[in-house]
């Protein structure tokens, strides 16, 4: 994965972790749903958004399938604090 995009993903994960209380509170507001599932969705959405738009900004194109698979591997190895 491009090092600039990887760095942006790491920054977004750190930012996400620093807002864990807010994300947990938001997740709990979805009545009838498991908060941990909602939290996972929020974290995944934030990271995917960063991956997609930073690829477009830095590389000036959409991510390739191989880049997406590298992103999936990145996500597999993170441990959010939320």
Place of tokens 């994960």: 13
* Residues 53-66: tens digit of each pLDDT: 999 999 999 999 99
* Residues 8-25: tens digit of each pLDDT: 999 999 999 999 999 999
**What per-residue confidence (pLDDT) applies to 78?**
84
Q: At residue 69, does pLDDT exceed 70?
A: yes
Note the pTM of the prediction, 2 decimals. Answer: 0.90
* Residues 31-54: tens digit of each pLDDT: 999 999 999 999 999 999 999 999
What is the three-class DSSP state of 53?
Answer: helix
Alpha-carbon distance of 81 to 13, in angstroms, equals 9
């Amino acid at each position: 994965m491009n090092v600039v995009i990887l760095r942006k993903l790491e920054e977004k994960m750190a930012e996400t972790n620093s807002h864990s209380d807010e994300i947990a509170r938001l997740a709990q507001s979805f009545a009838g749903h498991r908060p941990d599932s909602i939290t996972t969705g929020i974290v995944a959405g934030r990271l995917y958004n960063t991956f997609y738009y930073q690829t477009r900004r830095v590389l000036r194109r959409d991510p390739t399938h191989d880049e997406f698979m590298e992103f999936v591997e990145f996500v597999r190895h993170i441990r959010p604090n939320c």
